[in-house]
Amino acid sequence: MTPKIQFAKPDVVQAAFEVLKDRGLSGLTARNVAGQLGSSTAPVYAHFDNMKELEVAAVRKARDLLIDYTSRPHTDRVFLSMGVGIAKFARDHARLYRAIFLERKEFRIVVDEFLQALTSEFAKDPRFEAMADEDSKYMLTKMWVFTHGLASLLCVGLVDDESDEHIVSILDSVGTVVIKATIADCR
């Protein structure tokens, strides 16, 4: 008789997410996940054929937390709040940010899923309702490049002032320039 599985798949994913958050992608091993669960590695391999599958599941959970950050009303403007959410996530969860965006290209599908969610959130900003899809994608891409750069600098501790106020201020000032330039280009 086979032993009963004591940990459900979501438990294993949550444990992997905690390891990812605490130790980063290099620390995400079956042994460390088992340690987080307080078990042997059996639950990991009972639910996942290999560690790559578990890595993707843990990174998707990190992406879900990132989407939560970008959906919060950090300011009274949806577009600015999205950027602030990305930057604050990188500051607050550097290992998760690195895992999603900086360490492995095989997580591209997770990045694409995030960018799709970001695009949907962007569409909620009433200031850009009349903007053509091509123009809004262009503007979103420009802001993504800047925001990702800022977030990466926050992630590695190269920004002297990591306060919420500074993050809002820098993204607001650059965002204003990008929005005005995009609107001018659209005319």
Angstrom distance (rounded) from CA 118 to CA 130: 18
Burial class (CB in 10 A: 0-12, 13-18, 19+), 126: exposed
Asked if residues 100 and 115 have their Cβ atoms less than 8 Å apart, the reply is no
This prediction has a pTM of: 0.90
* Tokens coding 139: 């503007």
Q: Residue 59 phi/psi, 5° resolution?
A: -65, -35
Mean per-residue pLDDT of the chain: 92
Give the C-alpha separation, 136 to 59, whole Å.
28
CA distance 173 to 82: 15
CA 63, 65, 68 angle in degrees (round to 5)?
A: 110
Confidence of residue 175 (pLDDT cuts 50, 70, 90): very high
Contact 57, 113 (CB under 8 A): no
Greater confidence, 50 or 130? 50
Domains, the chain, ordered by start? 1-48 (1.10.10.60), 59-186 (1.10.357.10)
Is it the case that residue 1 has pLDDT exceeding 60? no
CA 145 to chain centre: 14
Give the E-state strand segments of the chain in sequence order.
none
Mean pLDDT of 15-29: 98
Q: Look up tokens 């438990």; give the residue.
A: 11
Residue 130 pLDDT exceeds 90:
no
